[in-house]
Copies of this chain bind each other. A is one copy, B any other.
Amino acid sequence: MDSFGDRLADAILSTGTPLCMGIDPHASMIPALFGDSSTPGSPQTLRAISDFSMACLAAAKGQVAAIKPQAAFFEAQGPEGVRILADLSRAAIAEGILVIMDAKRGDIGSTSTAYAAALIGHDAPFPSDALTVNPYLGLDTLEPFLERADACGAGLFILTRTSNPGAGTLQDLDVDGRPVYQHLAEALAPLAAARRGTSGWSSLGIVAGATWPEEAKTLRSLLPDAPFLVPGFGAQGAGASQALAGLNRQPEGWQGGLINSTRGLIFPKSAAGASSHAAWRDAVDDAVRASRGALANA
C-alpha cells in the first residue's frame, strides 16, 4: 500500500477537492426522519446514529477527499456507540474513502502503543488511515504512534494550532520570541521530512485551525511537506480563502491538506426538516457541492 501522504494526495486529485467531511453524530441534531435520538444509548438512538452516519458516508463517496469521524459523539453513546464508529470506518475503508480518525489521543509509553493499536491502520479495531494526536505530553510520546503508523502505511495529524477562540492559552505563549506552536512545528519538521512520499507529501501532518490564516502560512514555511488538517471552515466562521491559507495551489488544484467542514455539510439548515431521505440527501449534496465550489474558486 502507498504511504498515507501519497494516498491523501491521490484522493485530493481524484475527488478534485481538499474537502473533508466531518462526521459528528450529535444526537440532538440528527433530523427526525432518522428516528428518535433523544435517549442516549437506547436502541432507537443507536439506530438513528448508525443510519445517519452511514447516510453521510454515502453522500461523501467520490465527493470529498476524506471523512473525519469524531470519536466523542460515538463514545457518548457507550460501547454500542463506538461499535458504530468501528463499522462506519470499516465501511468507508472498504469503499476506498480515506478515514481520518479524530480522537485526539495522547499518552505515554505503552499506553500510546495501546491507543495506536486501537485506532491506527486498516486492521485496527477502530480502523483508520490517519489519527489525530495531542502532543502536550512530549515528542517522545509520539514515537509509538509513529511506529504503528509507519508499519501500516497510515498517517498522523499532530494538534499544533487549533481553531477555537481560546487556543492561545498554551499554544501562543511566547518562547524566545516565537509562540509554543511554532516551536512544536520546528520539532516536527524533521519527522515530517523523513516521511515524505513520492508525491512529495509526508504521512506526518498537523492540525492547523482555519481561523488563523496568517499562522497557517508560517506553519507551511516551517513544514513544507506536511499535510494540514484544517478545522474551522464553515460553521466555525472561516471562509474558503482563510481555510486554504496553508495549502498549495497547483495546476491541477489544491494540494497539501484537508479542509474539514462538519456542520456545514452534514447539518445544513435545508436538511433539518427534510421530509424524506431523498430530500435530506439532496440538501447534503447541495451543501457538499457548494463547499467544493467555494474551495475551488477561492
Contacts and interface: CB of A to CB of B under 8 A. Distances in A.
B139 A166 contact: yes
A34 interface: no
18 contacts: A24-B114, A26-B110, A72-B105, A73-B111, A75-B115, A75-B119, A78-B118, A78-B125, A79-B125, A108-B164, A134-B137, A135-B136, A135-B169, A137-B166, A137-B167, A169-B187, A173-B173, A173-B175
A168 interface: yes
For the complex of A and B, 6 pairs with smallest distance between CB atoms = A140-B166, A78-B125, A138-B166, A72-B114, A79-B83, A136-B136
A125 B76 contact: yes
A152 interface: no
A117 B136 CA distance: 23
A183 B149 CA distance: 33
B184 A166 contact: no
Contact of A77 (B76, B77, B80, B125): B125
A203 to B, nearest CB: 21
B170 A135 contact: yes
A142 to B, nearest CB: 9
A260 interface: no
A86 interface: yes
A133 to B, nearest CB: 11
Interface string A136-165: 111111000000000000000001001111
A171 interface: yes
A111 B24 contact: yes
Count identical subunits in the complex: 2
A180 interface: yes
B138 A136 contact: no
Contacts of A79: 79-80, 82-83, 86, 125
Contacts of A126: 75, 78
Contacts of A72: 105, 107, 111-112, 114-115, 118
A146 to B, nearest CB: 13
B164 A109 contact: yes
Contacts of A115: 72, 75-76
A264 interface: no
A177 to B, nearest CB: 11
